[in-house]
Amino acid sequence: MKCSELNLQPAIIKGLQKVGYEELTPIQQQTLEPILAGRDLIAKAETGSGKTAACAIPILEKIDPHLKEVQALILVPTRELALQYVEEISKIAQFTSIQAFAVYGGFSMDIQKGKLAHGVHVLVATPGRLIDLLYNSPLTLSHVRTLVLDEADEMLDMGFLPDVEFVFSCLVHEHQTLLFSATMPPEIKTLAQRYLKNPVIIELNVEKVAPESLTHTFYQVRPHHRLQALLDYLKTENPRQAILFCNSRRSSEQLYNHLKKELDSVEIIHGGLEQARRTSLFRRFKRLDIRYMIATDIASRGLDFSHTTHVINYDFPTHPESYTHRTGRTARMGRQGVALTFYTPQDLRKLRTLIRVNRIQPVWLGPEPDLNIKPSKSKSFHQTHSEAPKRQPNRRRRHSRPKGNRHSEEK
C-alpha cells in the first residue's frame, strides 16, 4: 500500500513523503487499521521491519493537537531507543503542531518537567524516569488514550516488569494498549493476558526470526587467534560500516585498544559512558562519521542504523535472543546485510541451540562443525558475499513502588 493512498490527515501524508516513505511495510499495513479502530494489539515481527512507524503513524492520526496533554504514552527499555522514537515521530509530524518528547534517566528532571509543562502530546519514556515524574511532578496520565510497550521482551528481561505493572495501575480509565516485541517469551504472553482486552494478534514471518536479506556466517577460531581472524576478515571484506559486539564492557575496551592501533574510524560505546557521549556517538555513527563501532548489547535493541552492512559477534552471544537483536542492526527494511559470528570449540553446544532457535541457514567460513544439522557448503569470504543472501541479559532488579530519584536505565 502506498503512503499517498492512506486515508490520513494531509499533514501526516506530507510528513511521510518528506521523510521518504513511499509504501508501508507488511507490519505497518497490518497494524494500521486495528490501531486506528482503537483495538488492543500484539505485534510480533522480525527486527528491522518498521515497527516504530507502524506505531507512530496511526497514533499521530488520533492525536488532538489542541489538547495540551499527554495522549499517547510509549514505554521503551533504553534512552537510546526513546530518542530514536521521538526523532522518528517528530519527522512524520513535522507539518503538524503535535509535540513529542522523551524522558529518561541521566538527564535533568527539571528540564523535563519544564518541557512537559509546556504541553506534550506523545511522551516516550523509560519506565524508571516516568515513575520518577509521576511521583515528583504534576505529570498525569489521565488523558492517555494509547499505551505502547515497545521491545516488551527486553523491558521484562531488564527487570522492568514491576514498573510496567505500576504504569498499568495508573491507567484506570479506558485506553488502548499496543504491545510490540521481536520475540514472545511466556512472560510477555502472561502480561498480555492480564492487561490487554481481546487483542488483535499479528505475527509476521513466524517461521523465521531473522530477515530474509540477512546472510548468517560463522567462523570457528581458537580464542587467542580471534583478533587476527577479525583483522583478516575486515581487510578482506572491507565493510561499509560495521558494529562489533562484545559481551562485556571489559571485553569491548580490550578490543577497542587493539583495533584503534590497526584501523581508522573506530569508536566504542557501552553503558559506562556519559549519556551525552553515547548520544553523540550514535548520531555520528548514523551519519557514517564512524565506520567501526565496538559495542555491548546496549546497541542491540531497536536502533536503526541504515548504513550498517555488517554485524560481527566478536564474543559469542549469551543467548539466542541476543543474537537476534544484535544481527537486527543490519539488513533492516529489506536491505542486504551480513552477520559474522566467531565461535570456539567450547561454543558448539550453544551454537547448535542458536541456529535451531533462530531458524537460520548458516554459512560456514571454513570447515563445517559437526552439529548434526543440515549440511552447508564451506565458502570463502569472497564466495559468500558475491552470491544472493540465504533465507532464512543482564537482569536488573527494580522496586515496584519507587520514591524519589531513581537510577538511569542502563544495561
Residues 173-219 pLDDT 10s: 999 999 988 777 788 888 889 999 999 999 875 544 556 788 999 99
E runs forming strands in 108-188: 122-125, 146-149, 176-181
The predicted structure's pLDDT at residue 408: 41
Per-residue confidence (pLDDT) for residue 187, from 0 to 100: 84
Position 378 pLDDT exceeds 50: no
> Residue 311, CB half-sphere, CA atoms under 13 Å: how many?
30
pLDDT at 157: 76
Among 85-99, 191-205, 336-350, 390-404, the minimum mean pLDDT is found in: 390-404
Domains of the chain: 3-203 (3.40.50.300), 214-386 (3.40.50.300)
**Tell me, what's the pLDDT at 407?**
41
pLDDT value of position 135: 93
Q: What is the pLDDT of residue 304?
A: 67
Question: Can you say whether the dihedral through the CA atoms of 276, 277, 282, 288 is positive or negative?
Answer: positive
Q: What's the rounded Cα separation, in Å, for the pair 326 and 337?
A: 12
Residue 174 CB partners (closer than 8 Å, separation 6+): none
**pLDDT surpassing 70 at residue 144:** yes
* Least confident window among 3-7, 68-72, 82-86, 100-104: 3-7
Tell me the pLDDT band of 331, cut-offs 50, 70 and 90.
Answer: low
Predicted confidence at residue 402, as pLDDT, reads 42
3 state SS of 245: strand
Residue 411's pLDDT band (cuts 50, 70, 90): very low
Q: What is the four-CA torsion angle of 362, 363, 366, 367, rounded to 10 degrees? A: 50
> In terms of pLDDT, which residue wins out, 408 or 36?
36
Distance CA 383, CA 7 (A): 47
Q: Tell me the mean pLDDT in the region 69-74.
A: 97
Q: Helix (H, G, I), strand (E, B), or coil: what is residue 111?
A: helix
pLDDT at 254: 95
How far, in whole angstroms, is CA 278 from its chain's centroid? 16
How many helices (H) and strands (E) the chain has is answered by: 15, 14
Question: Is residue 303 very low, low, confident or very high in pLDDT (cuts 50, 70, 90)?
Answer: low
Model confidence pTM above 0.75: no
204 or 373, which is more confident:
204
The three-point CA angle 374-376-382 to 5° equals 160
